[in-house]
Structures are given as C-alpha cells and as structure tokens.
Amino acid sequence: MAVIPLIKSGLMKMCVDLDTSAFNAVIKDYADHQKELFGKLTSIMQERVAAHVGKMLLINWDNPDANDYTEQSAPMQLLVKETQVLYKVISKVLPGEQVKVSQISRPSWRQSLRST
C-alpha cells in the first residue's frame, strides 16, 4: 500500500497537471478492501468462538470423574488450534504490523461470548 502514494508523488513532480483522482480512488478502494477483510476475519473467529462456547455450555461441569478433563478441554483445544491456523495463514500474507492480536476488538469478543 505504501507504494501507491510514492508513485503518485513521483508522477506529480514530473507532471504538474496530473489528475490524481485515479490514485485517490485506488487508495480508497484498498483501504475499504482491507477493512472488509479484517471484518471477515473477525467474523470468522467470532463464529468459531460462539460454536465452541455453545459446546462448552453443554458440558456437565459437575462430572464426578474429576481426573478426566478430556470433555471439558476439547472445545478450548480446538479453538486454540483454529486460532493458530488462522494466525499462520494471515501472517504469511499480511505485513507484520497488521498481524497483531491487540488489533482484535476485545469488546466484540466479549459480546460474542455473552450472546451465546
């Protein structure tokens, strides 16, 4: 993304009367596309959390066999695995500064958990 403004700047130096509306449109389209992709990734993870929380709600947490945590930990293990796979995939495609867990909207995660 950082290349487009540099190209625009360079061309503006060479051609004073250059119409930059096409560059502005590309920059806007790219930003919109980036927001849509982030929204989609967030939506995917919210769906996965909701599905696993739904499974957790069905677990008998008062199971007398306290030594067997297989049933209780399975949904969380799967959620962690799915999160790791998503991270591996997006970290290969996106720049490092865009691949941050801190970018995920924590209130939306909490809301997703409450709505299930």
- pLDDT for 110 equals 58
- pLDDT for 58 equals 81
Single pTM value for the model: 0.61
Write the DSSP string, 10-75: HHHHH-TT---HHHHHHHHHHHHHHHHHHHHHHHHHHHHHHHHHHHHHTS-TT-S-TT--HHHHHH
Can you list the pairs that 87-90 forms with residues at least 24 positions away whose Cβ atoms lie under 8 Å? 90/41
- pLDDT for 63 equals 67
- pLDDT for 36 equals 92
Cβ neighbour number for residue 46 with a 10 Å cutoff:
19
- pLDDT for 3 equals 73
- pLDDT for 96 equals 74
Q: Which residue stretches of the chain have pLDDT < 50?
A: 102-103
- pLDDT for 32 equals 92
- pLDDT for 26 equals 82
Q: Considering just the CA atoms, what is the radius of gyration of the chain in Å?
A: 22
Cα distances from 14 to residues 17, 20, 23, 80, 108, in angstroms, run: 9, 13, 15, 52, 47
